[in-house]
Amino acid sequence: AQSVTQLDSHVSVSEGTPVLLRCNYSSSYSPSLFWYVQHPNKGLQLLLKYTSAATLVKGINGFEAEFKKSETSFHLTKPSAHMSDAAEYFCVVSDRAAGNKLTFGGGTRVLVKP
Amino acid sequence: NAGVMQNPRHLVRRRGQEARLRCSPMKGHSHVYWYRQLPEEGLKFMVYLQKENIIDESGMPKERFSAEFPKEGPSILRIQQVVRGDSAAYFCASSPDRQDNQPQHFGDGTRLSIL
Protein backbone atom coordinates (compact mmCIF):
# COMPACT_ATOMS: atom_id res chain seq x y z
CA ALA A 1 0.00 0.00 0.00
CA GLN A 2 1.14 3.52 -0.64
CA SER A 3 0.57 6.63 1.44
CA VAL A 4 1.70 10.23 1.61
CA THR A 5 2.03 12.51 4.63
CA GLN A 6 2.39 16.23 4.28
CA LEU A 7 3.74 17.37 7.57
CA ASP A 8 2.31 20.91 7.55
CA SER A 9 -1.28 21.73 6.73
CA HIS A 10 -0.49 25.47 6.55
CA VAL A 11 2.73 27.37 5.85
CA SER A 12 3.06 31.13 6.04
CA VAL A 13 6.03 32.93 4.50
CA SER A 14 6.98 36.48 3.63
CA GLU A 15 7.44 37.45 0.01
CA GLY A 16 11.06 36.97 -1.02
CA THR A 17 11.86 34.37 1.67
CA PRO A 18 12.39 30.63 1.10
CA VAL A 19 9.55 28.13 1.04
CA LEU A 20 9.81 24.56 2.36
CA LEU A 21 6.93 22.10 2.06
CA ARG A 22 7.57 18.73 3.66
CA CYS A 23 6.41 15.38 2.34
CA ASN A 24 7.04 11.80 3.44
CA TYR A 25 5.82 8.81 1.49
CA SER A 26 5.36 5.09 1.87
CA SER A 27 5.40 2.81 -1.14
CA SER A 28 5.80 -0.90 -1.72
CA TYR A 29 7.62 -0.40 -4.99
CA SER A 30 9.94 2.09 -6.59
CA PRO A 31 7.63 5.08 -6.62
CA SER A 32 7.00 7.95 -8.93
CA LEU A 33 6.47 11.16 -6.98
CA PHE A 34 4.83 14.40 -8.01
CA TRP A 35 4.04 17.81 -6.64
CA TYR A 36 0.88 19.52 -7.88
CA VAL A 37 -0.39 23.02 -7.12
CA GLN A 38 -4.04 24.00 -6.91
CA HIS A 39 -5.17 27.61 -7.05
CA PRO A 40 -8.65 28.45 -5.72
CA ASN A 41 -11.47 26.94 -7.76
CA LYS A 42 -9.03 25.55 -10.29
CA GLY A 43 -7.71 22.16 -11.23
CA LEU A 44 -4.29 20.80 -10.40
CA GLN A 45 -1.17 21.88 -12.22
CA LEU A 46 1.91 19.68 -12.26
CA LEU A 47 4.94 21.40 -10.70
CA LEU A 48 7.47 18.59 -11.05
CA LYS A 49 7.90 14.83 -11.05
CA TYR A 50 10.47 12.29 -9.87
CA THR A 51 10.75 9.05 -11.83
CA SER A 52 14.01 7.39 -10.67
CA ALA A 53 16.35 9.60 -12.63
CA ALA A 54 18.12 12.51 -10.89
CA THR A 55 17.23 12.83 -7.21
CA LEU A 56 17.10 16.63 -7.40
CA VAL A 57 14.20 17.56 -9.62
CA LYS A 58 13.62 21.04 -11.01
CA GLY A 59 10.11 22.14 -11.83
CA ILE A 60 8.24 25.15 -13.05
CA ASN A 61 8.12 28.58 -11.39
CA GLY A 62 11.44 28.10 -9.59
CA PHE A 63 10.35 25.10 -7.51
CA GLU A 64 12.52 22.07 -6.94
CA ALA A 65 12.31 18.90 -4.87
CA GLU A 66 14.82 16.36 -3.61
CA PHE A 67 14.10 12.65 -3.43
CA LYS A 68 15.75 11.04 -0.40
CA LYS A 69 15.13 7.32 -0.34
CA SER A 70 16.79 6.79 3.07
CA GLU A 71 14.39 9.30 4.60
CA THR A 72 11.41 8.44 2.34
CA SER A 73 11.03 12.16 1.77
CA PHE A 74 10.31 14.39 -1.19
CA HIS A 75 10.34 17.95 0.16
CA LEU A 76 9.49 20.88 -2.10
CA THR A 77 11.46 24.12 -1.94
CA LYS A 78 11.66 27.51 -3.58
CA PRO A 79 14.40 30.04 -2.75
CA SER A 80 12.21 33.13 -2.91
CA ALA A 81 8.43 33.17 -2.52
CA HIS A 82 6.23 35.27 -4.75
CA MET A 83 2.71 36.45 -4.03
CA SER A 84 1.46 34.26 -6.87
CA ASP A 85 2.73 31.17 -5.02
CA ALA A 86 -0.18 31.41 -2.57
CA ALA A 87 -2.10 28.21 -3.25
CA GLU A 88 -2.53 24.65 -2.02
CA TYR A 89 0.21 22.13 -2.76
CA PHE A 90 -0.19 18.38 -2.96
CA CYS A 91 2.50 15.75 -2.73
CA VAL A 92 1.45 12.68 -4.71
CA VAL A 93 2.78 9.13 -5.10
CA SER A 94 2.13 6.57 -7.79
CA ASP A 95 3.49 3.07 -8.18
CA ARG A 96 2.89 0.10 -10.39
CA ALA A 97 1.63 -2.02 -7.53
CA ALA A 98 -1.28 0.40 -7.20
CA GLY A 99 -2.05 0.39 -10.92
CA ASN A 100 -0.82 3.93 -11.48
CA LYS A 101 -3.62 5.51 -9.47
CA LEU A 102 -2.44 8.54 -7.56
CA THR A 103 -2.41 8.78 -3.78
CA PHE A 104 -2.52 12.34 -2.49
CA GLY A 105 -1.24 13.88 0.68
CA GLY A 106 -3.63 16.04 2.66
CA GLY A 107 -2.26 19.23 1.13
CA THR A 108 -0.34 22.25 2.42
CA ARG A 109 -1.91 25.64 2.10
CA VAL A 110 0.69 28.37 1.50
CA LEU A 111 0.08 31.94 2.52
CA VAL A 112 2.49 34.59 1.24
CA LYS A 113 2.65 37.82 3.18
CA PRO A 114 3.78 41.06 1.51
CA ASN B 1 -4.00 22.07 -27.75
CA ALA B 2 -6.91 21.71 -25.35
CA GLY B 3 -6.33 20.23 -21.93
CA VAL B 4 -8.70 18.01 -19.99
CA MET B 5 -12.19 19.48 -20.30
CA GLN B 6 -14.79 18.98 -17.61
CA ASN B 7 -18.35 20.18 -17.62
CA PRO B 8 -20.26 21.58 -16.05
CA ARG B 9 -17.95 23.62 -13.83
CA HIS B 10 -20.67 23.93 -11.23
CA LEU B 11 -23.69 21.71 -10.73
CA VAL B 12 -26.49 22.13 -8.23
CA ARG B 13 -28.87 19.28 -7.50
CA ARG B 14 -31.57 18.59 -4.95
CA ARG B 15 -31.45 15.47 -2.82
CA GLY B 16 -32.70 12.47 -4.76
CA GLN B 17 -31.85 13.84 -8.21
CA GLU B 18 -29.21 12.50 -10.55
CA ALA B 19 -25.90 14.19 -11.32
CA ARG B 20 -23.94 13.61 -14.53
CA LEU B 21 -20.38 14.87 -14.77
CA ARG B 22 -18.52 14.83 -18.07
CA CYS B 23 -14.84 14.64 -18.87
CA SER B 24 -13.11 14.86 -22.23
CA PRO B 25 -9.46 13.77 -21.92
CA MET B 26 -6.58 15.45 -23.64
CA LYS B 27 -6.17 14.59 -27.29
CA GLY B 28 -4.33 11.31 -27.65
CA HIS B 29 -5.01 10.21 -24.07
CA SER B 30 -6.91 6.97 -23.63
CA HIS B 31 -6.70 6.63 -19.85
CA VAL B 32 -9.11 8.52 -17.60
CA TYR B 33 -9.16 8.77 -13.81
CA TRP B 34 -11.80 10.30 -11.55
CA TYR B 35 -10.99 11.77 -8.14
CA ARG B 36 -13.15 13.34 -5.46
CA GLN B 37 -12.08 16.21 -3.22
CA LEU B 38 -14.14 16.80 -0.11
CA PRO B 39 -13.87 20.22 1.56
CA GLU B 40 -10.49 20.80 3.24
CA GLU B 41 -9.18 17.41 2.10
CA GLY B 42 -6.88 16.03 -0.56
CA LEU B 43 -8.09 14.20 -3.62
CA LYS B 44 -9.20 10.58 -3.32
CA PHE B 45 -9.09 8.13 -6.20
CA MET B 46 -12.45 6.85 -7.40
CA VAL B 47 -12.13 4.99 -10.70
CA TYR B 48 -9.77 4.36 -13.61
CA LEU B 49 -11.09 3.71 -17.10
CA GLN B 50 -9.81 3.05 -20.57
CA LYS B 51 -11.99 3.21 -23.63
CA GLU B 52 -15.05 1.03 -22.96
CA ASN B 53 -13.42 -0.64 -19.94
CA ILE B 54 -13.37 -0.05 -16.21
CA ILE B 55 -9.87 -1.00 -15.05
CA ASP B 56 -10.04 -0.17 -11.35
CA GLU B 57 -13.10 1.00 -9.43
CA SER B 58 -11.77 0.32 -5.96
CA GLY B 59 -12.46 3.89 -4.85
CA MET B 60 -16.06 4.06 -5.99
CA PRO B 61 -18.84 3.94 -3.40
CA LYS B 62 -20.70 0.63 -3.71
CA GLU B 63 -24.06 2.20 -4.47
CA ARG B 64 -25.39 5.07 -6.59
CA PHE B 65 -22.08 5.81 -8.35
CA SER B 66 -21.14 4.59 -11.80
CA ALA B 67 -18.67 5.59 -14.51
CA GLU B 68 -18.24 4.92 -18.19
CA PHE B 69 -15.87 5.87 -20.98
CA PRO B 70 -17.54 4.96 -24.27
CA LYS B 71 -15.80 4.42 -27.56
CA GLU B 72 -17.07 7.78 -28.74
CA GLY B 73 -17.62 10.77 -26.51
CA PRO B 74 -16.58 11.86 -23.05
CA SER B 75 -16.23 9.88 -19.87
CA ILE B 76 -19.27 10.20 -17.61
CA LEU B 77 -19.41 9.96 -13.83
CA ARG B 78 -23.01 9.40 -12.77
CA ILE B 79 -24.38 9.78 -9.28
CA GLN B 80 -27.94 8.62 -8.72
CA GLN B 81 -30.21 9.78 -5.89
CA VAL B 82 -27.70 12.32 -4.63
CA VAL B 83 -27.36 13.06 -0.92
CA ARG B 84 -25.80 15.99 0.92
CA GLY B 85 -22.59 14.03 1.48
CA ASP B 86 -21.99 13.90 -2.27
CA SER B 87 -21.21 17.63 -2.25
CA ALA B 88 -17.60 17.86 -3.36
CA ALA B 89 -15.32 18.79 -6.21
CA TYR B 90 -14.91 16.00 -8.75
CA PHE B 91 -11.77 16.00 -10.85
CA CYS B 92 -10.96 14.09 -13.97
CA ALA B 93 -7.41 13.36 -15.09
CA SER B 94 -6.03 11.74 -18.20
CA SER B 95 -2.75 10.20 -19.29
CA PRO B 96 -1.49 8.79 -22.57
CA ASP B 97 -0.70 5.34 -21.21
CA ARG B 98 -0.36 3.36 -18.03
CA GLN B 99 3.33 3.96 -17.39
CA ASP B 100 3.63 5.22 -13.86
CA ASN B 101 6.08 7.94 -14.82
CA GLN B 102 3.53 9.62 -17.02
CA PRO B 103 1.95 12.49 -15.08
CA GLN B 104 -1.77 12.76 -15.10
CA HIS B 105 -3.22 15.99 -16.45
CA PHE B 106 -6.18 17.38 -14.55
CA GLY B 107 -9.26 19.27 -15.56
CA ASP B 108 -10.59 22.23 -13.59
CA GLY B 109 -13.17 20.04 -11.87
CA THR B 110 -16.92 20.02 -11.38
CA ARG B 111 -18.13 21.45 -8.10
CA LEU B 112 -21.26 19.61 -7.07
CA SER B 113 -23.57 21.15 -4.51
CA ILE B 114 -26.53 19.27 -3.09
CA LEU B 115 -29.39 21.30 -1.67
Mean pLDDT of A28-51: 87
Would you call A95 and B100 a contact, using CB atoms and an 8 Å cutoff? yes
Q: List CB contacts of B73: < 8 A, sequence separation 6 or more.
A: none
> Is B39 a residue whose pLDDT tops 90?
no
Give the burial class of B16: count Cβ atoms within 10 A of its Cβ; 0-12 exposed, 13-18 middle, 19 or more buried: exposed
Would you call A44 and B55 a contact, using CB atoms and an 8 Å cutoff? no
Would you call A104 and B44 a contact, using CB atoms and an 8 Å cutoff? yes
Cβ(A10)–Cβ(A78) under 8 Å?
Answer: no
Interface test with A, best of B31, B37, B49, B104 (most A CBs within 10 A): B104
**pLDDT score recorded for residue B1:** 53
Closest CA of chain A from B16, distance in Å: 26
> Is A68 a residue whose pLDDT tops 60?
yes
Percentage, residues of chain A above pLDDT 70: 96
Q: Across chain A, what does the average pLDDT equal? A: 91
Q: Which pLDDT tens digit goes with each residue over B43-76?
A: 999 999 998 899 999 999 999 999 999 988 999 9
> Which residue among B56, B91, B109 places its CB closest to the CB of A101?
B56
**pLDDT score recorded for residue A100:** 74
Mean pLDDT of B2-31: 94
Q: In this complex, how many residue pairs, one in chain A and one in chain B, have their CB atoms less than 8 Å apart? A: 63
Higher pLDDT, B2 or B70: B70
> Is B88 a residue whose pLDDT tops 70?
yes
Higher pLDDT, B12 or A32: B12
Would you call A46 and B59 a contact, using CB atoms and an 8 Å cutoff? no
Interface test with A, best of B7, B21, B24, B43 (most A CBs within 10 A): B43
Identity of the residue numbered A104:
F
**In B1-115, beta strands by DSSP E:** 5-7, 10-13, 19-24, 31-37, 43-50, 53-56, 65-68, 75-79, 88-95, 105-106, 110-114
Would you call A32 and B101 a contact, using CB atoms and an 8 Å cutoff? yes
**pLDDT score recorded for residue A99:** 66
Mean pLDDT of A15-23: 97
**pLDDT score recorded for residue B40:** 77
- The conformation of residue B103, written as its DSSP 8-state character, comes to P
Q: Across chain B, what does the average pLDDT equal? A: 91
Model confidence at B42, in pLDDT bands (50, 70, 90)?
confident
Mean pLDDT of A5-9: 95
